[in-house]
Each structure stands twice: as C-alpha cells, then as structure tokens.
Structure 1
Amino acid sequence: MDQRAPYSENERRLVISFDLGTTFSGVSYALLDPGKVPKIETVTRYPGQLGYDAKIPTVIYYTRDENATVLSVGEELPPDYDPDDDGILKVEWFKLKLQPQIDASRVVDVKLPLGKDVGGVIADFYGYLYQCAREHIKHALTALGELIWDSVKDNIFFVLSHPNSWEGAQQEIMRAAAVKAKLVNEEDSRTRISFVTEGEASMHFCITDGQLAASIKASRLYTYLMAIGLPKQPGDKMMVIDAGGGTVDLSAYSFESAKPVKAVEVAAPACLMEGSVIVQRHAKEHIQAKLKNSQFNDCVPAIVEEFDKSAKKLFKGSGNPSIRFSRSVKDNDAAASINRGCFKITESEMRAFFDPAVDAIIAAIRDQQQAASSHGEIKSYFLVGGFAANGYLYERLRQFLEDLNLTLYRPGASPNKAVAEGAVSFYLDRFVEGRVARYTYGTDVSVPAFPFMFMPPTPKVRNRMETMHRSVDGELWLPGAFSEILKQGTVVSETKEFRKDMSMQRLARSDEQWKTSVDIIAYRGPDPPLFMDEEPANFSTLCEIEANLKKAPRTECEGPLGKYFVIEAAIVLSFGLTEFKAELAWKDKSGVERRSPAKVVYDPDFSQSVTVSN
C-alpha cells in the first residue's frame, strides 16, 4: 500500500494475526522495523501440506479419553489414522460453540473432547498456529531468521479476528485461550492482544489489495459540509460480504477521505449463520435420505466428504455432479442415485443445497442497503472469504446487484486470506474512524416513586408500587428502570466517550462498602420502555463493571438509619473501539478529574441470549 507510513517507533516489533475460521484458518504477519514501511505477509507453509497454501483445516485430533491429548492438527493426520477408530476424536467446527443464539435449524452439532471447553480447544489451535507462524517467519527471513525472531519474540502483538456478531464475552474467551496457549502472559494480554471483526478486517484487505483505487473519491464538498456542521452529503460507499465456512459477515462503510483513507460504518454490521457448512449440511441431509434404505448407507460420510472437496466448490449453477466414493463399477443402486460407484446429484438438487444460504445473504444485503439508505446508495460490493470462491454464490450475487446497476468485485488475490491480512492492516492502518452501535446500551437504575403515587391505581401501577424500597436517605424508589447510555444506530468514533453519572449512598461499615458494580445492559428493540420487565425478552446483561470507590471524594450525611456517605462518580465507557472499555472517574478536592480502570466482567450467558442481527 503506497500511503502506509514508515514505522515510527524505536523498537522492532512483530504483528501476527490469527484468522480462526469455522472450516479453515490462516495467519498473516508484519515485521515492523523502525523507519521502514511495514509489509504484510501470509504464512503459506504448514505441516502436512503438499504445496503452498494460505489456509489449513480448522481440525484437531484428540485422544478420546480424560487426558484429551492432541494427536495432530490441520492437514496432518494421526499416525495410522482410521476414521472408525473409537480412540480418536476429530474436533472441527468448534468455533461455532461461541456463536450467539441462532435459529434451531442452523445449529450444528459440535463434539468437544472430555475435560475441555471451547476455550481449551481454541487454545490448542492457537498454540499450533503460533508454532507454524514461528517456523515460517524464521525461514522467510532467510539466514537472519533466527536472529530476527530472537529480537522480536518478546515484543509480538496479536490481532484476533472474529465474526461481526461476537462481543466482549467471546473476546474474553479468545483472550484467555491466547494466554493459555502461552502467546502472551496474563499481565500483557490487555495491551498485546487486540480484536477486529471479520467484516472490518476484510474491508482493510480490500483497500490494501488495491481494488478500491478507482472507487474511493474524496469529496471537497462533503468535507466542507461536515466542517461547518450542515447535513452530510454522502461520500463513496462500499459493502463487504465476507462469506466463510460458518458465518457470512456484512459491513457497510462510507469514505470521508481518500488520502489518508478514513471511513465510518453506515449500518450496524450483520452476521448470518449461512456459511458453506450450511450448504454441506443440506447436502448431507439429502444424501442420508437417499441412502437410508440402501446397502450403501454406511458410505454417507465418504460421499459427504467428497462433496465438500469437489462438488460444493466447483458448482456454478449448472451440471449434474457425480461424486465417486467407490472404485467398483459394480456398486449400483438406481433408487439411491448410485451408478458405477458414483453418487449422482441433479442440478436442481444442487441449487436446493445453496439457495437457502444465497437467498438469506441477498436479504441481508437488502437490509444493509435499507439501514444505510440515509447515507446514500452503496455502489461497490466486495465478496471475500472461502465461500466466495464458489461460482454459483458469486453469480447469484453478481446478477442481483447488476440488476440494480451496482457492482460486485472479488479481490484478485486469494479471497480466503482477506481476514488474516486485513487484520494486520487493521493494526497498521486503522481506516475506520466510527462504528455503529448494534444495540441500545444502558444500565439498570431506580427512579423516584413519588410521581407514581398520584397515578390512577391500575393493576399495573399497584404491581409497580409493590417493588418500592426506601434508601438510606429516607427517599422512596422504584427499581428495575432502564437508563440509556448509547442509542442503537449511533455512529461512535474511537475517541468518543460515554459517561454514566452515579450518585451512590453508602453506610460506612467496612472497606467492602466502597466496592460497587454496574450492569451494562443491551436492549434489542427500537425504543426501550422505562422499566425492563415490560419487555424482558429484549434486555440482556452484556457485562458487569466492578470498581472501588474508596479513593473517590464523599459527603457525610445523616439519615433515618444513621450516618451515611454520598459519592459522586461516573462510569466512562468507550464503545467506538473494537473492544469495549470502561473506567471510573471522579473529581478530587481540587476539582481535577481522576480515573482508575474498572474491571469488566462479562456475562457468560450473554452470547447465548443475543439473537444474531440479520
């Protein structure tokens, strides 16, 4: 990329990105030498590969016992491997264990080894990716490889990518997995690990790949109107469709300038569980039904595997694929579509495997277009990811967009390395200045009960009044109200902070009294009600922020229960980053604001209670 600036720090650094995919994974990196322009490279050598490839299967083979010993990873198979060996467990698609709640029809069964949760499996895979990256980088740097590696091994920064729908809860599991894999220690994990969505990483890849040179244009009028505060004129826009093995991520951006490239999201990113594994699932169900009463019923796994390797990848919308699973020409069963050792699939059947996913992607594109409509029309669309290589998917999307006089591109370089390389570009280039809030965020508070005392005594009001409580100052309050901090759809810059002022009353009995916690709650509807129990299904606790107020100034007061203290402070939240952050702020006696980090504890159930945005 010609506009990337030379690395300005004084110390050499290495940046490594891990693209943990549902079916395939990859690694990219950049060596940062002071005064030199960083260049992004991709790991293309992995054990077990016959040639060079930027991806390896996201597969781990374990012993099927309480030890859960790793036998092999990726392309490598265990010694004398037999798929029917009951002592070996093949673990794949484990990334989907972290996917937020989805429709039951999209649930994929994933088996984990005994004694390991999904974080432990991810840690094993991260550890393997790191070993492969280390060996590749050493060899790629020629004779000086060992020396250069030794100079940066303690100054490696990692970028971990994840689907658009993942949030803090999943990021914490990924961070813990990286620590368990010994990529970094616990103390450094907050500074040397960063996260990026797969959609944003892909956007960075599309730009640095050079394909946007003709479509990004800086508008002086747009810049001027922004400067004087008048309504914005739309700049040039793009949408990235990252079609992977498990998920399809859609992200839409508007460019504010071309040099340097700066963009903002114009719609909340979307994530669909419509990747290529869903196509395979439809095919598997069809094959199982066909062979249910056939003597070849035990051949289903072999046929599905061959379908995944060839027919699924090569299908362009026409033709009747023939999947060979046997070398015997005597293997025939017309009722089961088997002829001379081959399983036959018609063109219409193939389309039926793909169409549900393709139709859902088209619907999601329409939703993104509608959500971004106030910013103007999105003209350029970019299809990346492993599923992007499929000709049928590409042609369906191309035709849909062409009918609207819109353009679909596929990067000239391998689209399956978009996330890994784009994640490194995210670290180096930071093209995105503003991101759209996916939900309305706030916290639970108590509101004064006094106004409700004068309302007509309806059953609803009477039930509400039964929750009334008295605080230490003698006032009456109603709990369970929702106080908004950030509205859904708001474009938030990386530097924008949101504050939630808190006035807390404490009876001073022990140091424990100064500890406080605040729940950050996500609301998934258009307009939140005053009380959360009015729409309980739309509220979920994102995380709990823990802080110690011992150093915050306090005012001594006298109440019905005796002496108490009032503490005025604020929780300061940063939503515009790819990772949620929080601090506690207060003013000292001289009026100077002081801050201390607040601990963010994510609700482990949040990832199971949030519906994927479509």
Structure 2
Amino acid sequence: MNHPGAGPRPPSYTANFQQQQQQQQPPVGRTSPLTQGPARTPPSQMVGGPPPINTGAPVAGYPPPMHMQPGAQPPPGVAGPPGYTGYPPPASAPQPTNTMQPYGRPAAEVEGNSRSKAQLIVGIDFGTTFSGVAFAFATNNEAKEDIITEWPGAGSYTKQKIPTVLYYDQYQKVVGWGPDIADALAPTGYPKPGVQKVEWFKLQLMLSGNTYIDPINLPPLPPGKSEIDVAADYLFKLRQAMRTALQKTLGEVFNREERNIRYYLTVPAIWNDAGKAATRAAAIQAGFLRDENDNRLTLVSEPEAASLFCAKTGLLNLKVHDAILIVDCGGGTVDLIAYEVEDENPFTVAECTAGSGDSCGSTALNRNFSNILRTKIRKMKLPDGSKTAGRVYAKCIMDFENRIKADFRNNGQKWAVDVGIEAEFPEAGIEEGYMTFTNEEILQCFEPVVNRILELVRNQIIAIQAQNRTLQNILVVGGFGASEYLFQQIKLHVPPQFQSKVVRPMDSVAAIVKGAVTAGITERVITHRVARRHYLMATLQPFKEGYHPEAYRVPSLDGKDRCKFTRQIFVQKGQKVKIGEPVKVSFFRQVAPGATLMYEDILYACDEDVCPEYTKDPRIKEVVTLTSDLSRKNLEKDFERMDTPQGTFYRVYFDIYLTLDGSEFSAELVCQGEVMGRCRSRFR
C-alpha cells in the first residue's frame, strides 16, 4: 500500500457495511451519518488535499436519490431512498444470491457463471521427478484420454512419463532435458565439464511460506536463474515435444485448434497461493498462454485429477454421502484430500475435510539413501575429490532411483550395485566390483518417510469419522504410490475395517495426468472446497480507548480517530466454499475532492486456526494486490457528497468478489455495476 508522498496512489484501507455501530444524527445536507475515516497525515499537511479515506464506521443510508442509478440496489441490510424498488445487478458484475454475513460469521456464497470447454484439451502432470502429458480431442463427455509416449531422445522406447530434469551449460543454455540428454553427457555417463544438472526445481516454486520443504536439501539452481525461469525452461521443452506429438497425431486439426487449446496443469493440493501463482507464471513464460489475461489454463489439484480418473473408469462404487480418501504419493509431496459424494449421476463430490500433506514424497527416500551412501563412501578413506568416490556415488544413486526404490519389499533381500571398480573396500561393503546394501539399510530410507505418510492417513480417517461419513475407499495414486512396500504398509496400518478398502488403480502412475484431461472433458466434479486459510482485507474501525493499540490510532476527516490495520475476513479457515460462486463483501472509502481515484488493495491470508486481529501481525501474509482504476468516474456526479465542519469529501461504495476457481482464487472490485479491477496471479 502506498503512503502519502510515496507515489500517486493514496492509502486504500477499507471498511465494510456489515459492522454496524451506534448511529448518530446526520448533519444537514447528508442522507447518512458521517462516518469516521483515517488520514495518515492531517489534511492540512498534505499537498493537494487529503487522500481518499477508508472508513470503518456504520452506514445507515445510501447515496441520495439524485446520485443513485435508477433502481440501483443499496447495500444489504441498508434502506434505500424513498420510492426505491431495486432491480437485478448488471450483467457485467457477478450475480449474488446471498450476501456476506455480519462480521465473525462465514461469508455466504453467491451465484457464479459456469466455464466453457474447448474441444482440444491437454493435461499436464508437471512433477518433481517425472512429468507427463495427455490429451483428448473432445466432442462429448465420453472422449478418451491419450498419453503422449514418444519423446525426443527416447529412441524407439515409449514412456508415459519422463524425468523432470534439465542440463545447463556454463552460459545457462539448456543442452539437455527429460530423456533428451545425449548432448549433455560425456561418454562416462556424467555431465560434460561445465554442464550442470538441475532437478527437483518444482519444489522451489513454493518455498515462500511453505513449512514442508527445507531449501537446504534442494539442489542449487543455475547462476542468474530463478525458480520460475528454470520451471519455464522445462515447460518450454515439454511444450515443444507436445506440439510435435500432437501435430503427428492430429495433423491439420492441431494446427487449426492450437490457439484454442485448454490446458489443465496439476499442482499439489498442499500448495499455497504463491506456489500456484509461480506455476502459472512459469507456464506463461513457457508459451502455453499468450499473456496473463489468457484464461485457457486451469490449475487442478493432483488428488482431484486422480479422483476424476478413477470415477470415470468405474473403480469407485460410491453412494451419496459416502467418502473417499485420495492419497497422492508423488516425487516431492504427498497430498491427502477426502471427498464426500453429493450426487451419483452426474458424479459430483465436495471436500469433507481440509486437505493435508507434507514433503514426504519419493525424493525424501533419495535424500535418506544419499546420507547412508556418503557414510559408506567415507569408510573407503579416499582423498577429497576422488573420482572413484564420485563414480561410486553416481552409480549407486542411479541404481537406487531406477531399481531399488521401486522393488523394495522389506523381505530381507540384499541389494548389490555394480560400481565399476576393481579395488576391494570390504569396510564400505564393496567386494568384486559391487557395493552391497542390506535390507536394514534400505529400510532406514523408507521408515521415516512411510511413517509420516501413515500419520497423515490416520489423521484424515479421524477427520472423516468426525464428520459421520462412511469411508468407502482409500485410493493410493501417484508415482510413489506404485511402491508395493508403501501400499502394503498403508493397508497394514489403517484400522482393520478399512484394510480391504485400500485400493490402487492399475494405471496409478498415469492416473493424475489422465485425470487432468478428464477435468476438461466432464462437468466439474468437485463442487465445494474446504478453505485451508483465512482470506481477509485491512479495514479502519472506530478507535476504542483501552482496547486498540495506541500506535494504530489515526485521525480522520471528521476529527474522530480510527484504528488502522483492523481486518475483515472474507472466508474463514475450514469454511466450505462453493467453486465458481463468488463471496461478496461491500465496502466504502471516503475520498477528498481532486484525489486520484486509483488504488491498490491488498488481500491477505492467514494459516492459523484463529486469525490475529490486526493485519500487521507477522502471521498474516500479503497474498495478492487488487489494482483498481475509478478515474473514469465523476466524483461530484457519481458519488455521495459529505459536507462537514472539517471539510468536504465523497463516499465511494464498492464490492469485492472473491471466487474460487478450481485450485486458484480470483478477486474483482465492482463499483456501480462495473468491474474496476481484478486480479488472479499478481501475487506479492
């Protein structure tokens, strides 16, 4: 938020209509009591007059009839002028069916518009360790999802998913990606001199505000490259390969439809708004969209995609009010979401518990194995920088990734890795050119990771039972979900009545990318989500002696003090929010004559169960900036004039609509039926 003197935009605190205070008699010439408003600097000290002031006091009326649009509807709970009849809001603004409840109660939902579907649909599973692309040329809900299996560098081999990896030269040019890495590697199989291998970079898209990921354990990015740059580089290569495959498969149809493709890109359910915004920014930079206003990209949570795929294939046999728990075990994260069936035909579900998860995906196994391997290599007592040690490390890591991790069963088996050296190092477990790992050593890699997953599963089952829902299926999906050891451990450790309900689709690795396409083919299956955080805005409220902090006291144009940094919650944590239907809150601000009618309002979020009272609390984070331009409005003609002994100003009424769309939310500022500002991905 800009401060006076810092730029052309004045402060933009807001107040909402629902917080009613004791009314006072309005002075002559006004239709409602004068509301108090703050000023960061007394009006007499400001160049060009005082800035717009947002108030937090009661509203007993609406602008007088001469300023009200014919038939316009006053704020909820506020009487209109004599003769008012009202009419439905303009089509250009969201159509509310209900209004925000008084402060402290969850926001009510209002009606929204359904989204359109394109014919050519592409699903993208952008994973931490592996990625995939599927598509459908859809003419009806029965369209079939096809997976791209031919990739550059893979030769005659077909792969449903390819490594999420990049190789950069010393000039930060991509010289290898996914399976196409021949130019990046030396004959030894290691990167050429000056070439840097970069992996697990997806996790860096959500480091901001994420408690699940330790950045210390992530491989470094190339110098001068941000996490969005690196993700965009990979997605650009993925897009090139996708275009080649679709041109080969669809021919002229692809050339005709490319500009209209709708993309459905999966993200972990535990990702916050910053992670989703970074993912969208990378997709735009990679060329999937023309610009940030192009609406052809939808972010779909990975568990939602999995549930869509399994529902379509008939794996689930569910009735109304039955619950299903999705356990999506990927490379970087494990996400869990429970859904309740709302309808069988068409199949629709709503979240019945708040999603949960952690960074306990299969890359955590790699980190644990790396620690064990380094301990064994140190027992070789080789000099620092030894090429032999580097060769042993690289070969063991590769074998663990490609063989041991997938085949481990905890059945007492020993694992021998060909490390390609003749010397014997029995103290390190190397004999006859093989390094041996015991069952117990590999179990040490799995146990802490699997135990964390089991804890997450147990907590979700408890939450489902607390909702008095019947849990019919526990669906294990994702690349790590294909681990037989993990699958059997989940079956073994859930309560006995649920052991037979733990299932895994035959195509669990491809379930998410196919489900992403299904999201574009079918009507939306997920109807409601449970908010994982509070969403709120800053307001100004009448200053209460002995209650509000003295440091937050600010003067107002009418001489009465306000408390800044108070907050108005749009959506409460744990509140069930309907997808596509905006939550509306009404506000006003007081504006001095001649002021610039351009504003930046900040939307905040808080992950705490109980949201702190003031937006300056460090537990409340800035999420997105909503920029609005009301300069085409005429203050004198369009808004209510307020004459007071302290001066003249105008009251500007507006509404903010917060809409959940898939895995993202958007915000719009509407003034007198016109959308004056909107935001989606401009996250701070």
TM-score above 0.5, yes or no: yes
* Structure 1 residue 556 corresponds to structure 2 residue 556: no
* Structure 1 residue 486 corresponds to structure 2 residue 571: yes
* Structure 1 residue 274 corresponds to structure 2 residue 360: yes
Corresponding position of 2:61: none
Corresponding position of 1:138: 247
Matches within 5 A, 1:174-323: 174-186=279-291, 189=294, 191-212=295-316, 215-218=317-320, 235-294=321-380, 295=382, 297-298=389-390, 299-323=392-416
Cα distance in 2 for residues equivalent to 1:339 and 1:147:
59
For 2:150, which of 37, 41, 45 is the aligned residue?
A: 45
Cα distance in 2 for residues equivalent to 1:541 and 1:85:
43
* Structure 1 residue 153 corresponds to structure 2 residue 233: no
Cα distance in 2 for residues equivalent to 1:104 and 1:245:
13
Corresponding position of 1:518: 601
Corresponding position of 1:497: 582
Cα distance in 2 for residues equivalent to 1:334 and 1:268:
51
CA contact (8 A) 1:91 1:111 kept: yes
TM-fit CA distance, 1:262: 0.7
TM-fit CA distance, 1:538: 2.6
CA contact (8 A) 2:120 2:135 kept: yes
CA contact (8 A) 1:203 1:240 kept: yes
Corresponding position of 1:367: 459
- Cα 1:585–1:397 change in 2 (3 A) is same
SS at match of 1:364: helix
CA contact (8 A) 2:624 2:682 kept: yes
Cα distance in 1 for residues equivalent to 2:659 and 2:264:
19
Deviations 1:117-136 (A, max 9, x none): 12122222212222222222
- Cα 1:106–1:341 change in 2 (3 A) is farther
SS at match of 1:344: strand
- Cα 1:408–1:55 change in 2 (3 A) is farther
The worse-fitting range, judged by mean Cα deviation, of 515-524 and 279-288 is 515-524
- Cα 1:576–1:267 change in 2 (3 A) is farther
CA contact (8 A) 1:252 1:267 kept: yes
Deviations 1:219-265 (A, max 9, x none): xxxxxxxxxxxxxxxx1110111101111111110001111101000
TM-fit CA distance, 1:491: 1.1
Cα distance in 2 for residues equivalent to 1:188 and 1:105:
33
Corresponding position of 2:270: 165
TM-fit CA distance, 1:71: 1.1
Cα distance in 2 for residues equivalent to 1:245 and 1:422:
18
Corresponding position of 2:14: none
Corresponding position of 2:625: 544
Q: Indicate the RMSD between aligned Cα atoms, in angstroms.
A: 2.4
How many percent of aligned residue pairs carry the same amino acid? 25
For 1:383, which of 472, 476, 491 is the aligned residue?
A: 476
Cα distance in 1 for residues equivalent to 2:358 and 2:583:
29
- Cα 1:96–1:335 change in 2 (3 A) is same
TM-fit CA distance, 1:10: 12
CA contact (8 A) 1:473 1:558 kept: no
Corresponding position of 1:336: 428
Bigger radius of gyration among the two? 2
CA contact (8 A) 1:211 1:411 kept: no
TM-fit CA distance, 1:104: 6.8
SS at match of 2:471: coil
Deviations 1:147-188 (A, max 9, x none): 222221221111111111223323332233222222221165
CA contact (8 A) 1:256 1:263 kept: yes
Deviations 1:499-520 (A, max 9, x none): 222120111324xx21222222
For 1:95, which of 196, 202, 206 is the aligned residue?
A: 202
Cα distance in 1 for residues equivalent to 2:561 and 2:681:
30
CA contact (8 A) 1:544 1:600 kept: no
* Structure 1 residue 530 corresponds to structure 2 residue 530: no
Give the structure-1-normalised TM-score.
0.84
Letter paired with 2:124:
F
Cα distance in 2 for residues equivalent to 1:185 and 1:335:
59
Unaligned runs of 5+ in 1: 1-8, 219-234, 456-460, 588-592, 605-614
CA contact (8 A) 1:571 1:582 kept: yes
Corresponding position of 1:611: none
Deviations 1:305-332 (A, max 9, x none): 211111111001223332323345x442
Cα distance in 2 for residues equivalent to 1:80 and 1:566:
64
Give the structure-2-normalised TM-score.
0.76
The worse-fitting range, judged by mean Cα deviation, of 148-157 and 290-299 is 290-299
Instruction: Give the paired residue count.
Output: 551
TM-fit CA distance, 1:74: 0.7
Corresponding position of 1:17: 123
Corresponding position of 2:166: 60
